[in-house]
Amino acid sequence: MIKLYWSPRSRSFSAIWLLEESGLAYERVLTDINTGAQKAPDFLKINPMGKVPALTDGDAGLAEAAAICAYIADRYPETKLAPATDDPKRARYLQWLFFAPGCIEPALIQLFSKLEVPARMAAWGSAEQVFDVLDSELQKGPWILGDQFSAADITIGSGLNFAVRAFKMVPPRPSFDAYIDRCAARPAFQRAETIAAG
């Protein structure tokens, strides 16, 4: 049985959305970060960083939202949340799947903390570059891989929704608004929002 360790109003949203999209049976295990439950020894065996989300699937255990998305999409190909390994779209899928934790999240930290890092030294370039590149890609739509919705849309859609709508750290752009609207119209997104709100 898949078990998702999560906490309300946290980065768990991506993993919840993914599992809701997947149609797979799973159990949600509340790991309330407000009470320090993520520091319990049993939880630290799953994620030594003491953060949510984390997931177990039989003997497999892992953490990090994008890794959870990759694992479920690959372990359960019937979900159709990832292109097959021999599909040429697979390369772009992987790039965008990890764009959220590798570029969007650092860019948000840069914006929030007003951190000045020379673009040539930052792995994400700059916040402006991250959102310009994403804007350009999303104009092609409707999804990050064109007509095919994938787990990459879950990581990108979650990050963008957080950045633009939830915390208003990034100014809206037409491509962002249209993309977030498409994500938010998905029944699995709506269920995940209700669950993640606690």
Q: What are the distances in angstroms from CA 10 to CA 14, 23, 131, 162, 179? A: 9, 22, 22, 10, 21
In a domain, 76, yes or no: yes
The beta-strand segments (E) located in the chain are 2-6, 26-30, 54-57, 60-63
Output the domain CATH number for residue 43: 3.40.30.10
Write out the residue range of the structural domain in which residue 28 sits. Answer: 2-80
DSSP 163: I
Domain boundary among 80, 105, 138: 80
Whether residue 130 sits in one domain with residue 164: yes
- Is the distance from CB of 29 to CB of 6 less than 8 angstroms? yes
In a domain, 111, yes or no: yes
- Is the distance from CB of 33 to CB of 196 less than 8 angstroms? no
Q: Tell me how many domains the chain contains.
A: 2
Whether residue 132 sits in one domain with residue 41: no
Q: Is 138 exposed, middle or buried (0-12, 13-18, 19+ CB in 10 A)?
A: buried
Whole-prediction pTM = 0.93
Quick one: pLDDT band at residue 114, thresholds 50, 70, 90? confident
In a domain, 62, yes or no: yes
Whether residue 102 sits in one domain with residue 169: yes
In a domain, 163, yes or no: yes
Write out pLDDT tens, residues 122-171: 677 788 899 999 999 999 989 999 999 999 999 999 999 999 999 899 99
Write out pLDDT tens, residues 45-72: 999 999 999 999 999 999 999 999 999 9
Sequence letter at residue 165: R
Whether residue 112 sits in one domain with residue 165: yes
Whether residue 65 sits in one domain with residue 102: no
Whether residue 99 sits in one domain with residue 70: no
